[in-house]
Amino acid sequence: MAATNRVDIDGVSLRLSHPDVLEIRWVGQDEVMDQLLAAWFVIEERDLPLNPRIIGKPGVGKTTLAYAAARQLGRDVYIYQATMDTRPEDLLVTPVVGATGSIEYTASPLVTAMIKGGVCILDEGNRMSEKSWASLAPLLDNRRYVESIVAGVKVKAHRDFRICATMNDDASTFEIPEYIHSRLMPQIFLDFPDAQDELAILQENLPFVDEQVLKYVVGFLQAAHEAEAPFTVRDGINIARYAAKTARARKTGKGGRGAALKDAVRMTLGEDALKFLRE
Q: Which tens digit of pLDDT belongs to each residue from 95-110?
A: 988 777 788 899 999 9
- What average pLDDT does the segment 23-27 reach? 88
Task: Classify burial at 99, counting beta carbons within 10 Å of its beta carbon; exposed 0-12, middle 13-18, buried 19 or more.
Answer: exposed
Q: How far is the C-alpha of 133 from the C-alpha of 122, rounded, in Å?
A: 11
- What average pLDDT does the segment 87-96 reach? 93
Q: Quick one: how far is CA 234 from the chain centroid?
A: 13
Pairing assessment for the beta strands 153-156 and 145-148 based on DSSP bridges: antiparallel
Q: How far is the C-alpha of 142 from the C-alpha of 279, rounded, in Å?
A: 56
> For residue 55, what are the β-bridge partners?
167, 189
- pLDDT category of residue 3 using cuts at 50, 70 and 90: very low
Q: How far is the C-alpha of 77 from the C-alpha of 75, rounded, in Å?
A: 6
3-state secondary structure of 35: helix
Q: Quick one: how far is CA 145 from the chain centroid?
A: 23
Q: How far is the C-alpha of 138 from the C-alpha of 114, rounded, in Å?
A: 13
Position 170 pLDDT exceeds 70: no
3-state secondary structure of 271: helix
Q: How far is the C-alpha of 233 from the C-alpha of 220, rounded, in Å?
A: 10
**Model pTM greater than 0.85?**
yes
Position 264 pLDDT exceeds 90: yes
Q: How far is the C-alpha of 79 from the C-alpha of 82, rounded, in Å?
A: 9
> Assign residue 157 a region: left if phi > 0, alpha if psi is -120 to 50, beta otherwise?
beta
Pairing assessment for the beta strands 53-56 and 187-189 based on DSSP bridges: parallel
Q: How far is the C-alpha of 197 from the C-alpha of 194, rounded, in Å?
A: 5
User: How many C-beta neighbours within 10 Å does residue 224 have?
Assistant: 21
User: How many C-beta neighbours within 10 Å does residue 74 have?
Assistant: 7
**Which of 171, 165, 179 is closest to 125 using CA atoms?**
165
Lowest pLDDT segment from 155-169, 180-194, 217-231, 237-251: 237-251
In one letter, which amino acid is 166? T
Position 113 pLDDT exceeds 60: yes
Q: How far is the C-alpha of 74 from the C-alpha of 244, rounded, in Å?
A: 35
Report percent pLDDT > 90 for the chain. Answer: 76
**Which of 161, 190, 175, 204 is closest to 65 using CA atoms?**
190
- Secondary structure letter of residue 188 according to DSSP: E
Residue-averaged pLDDT of the chain = 91
Contact yes or no for 35/44 (Cβ under 8 A): no
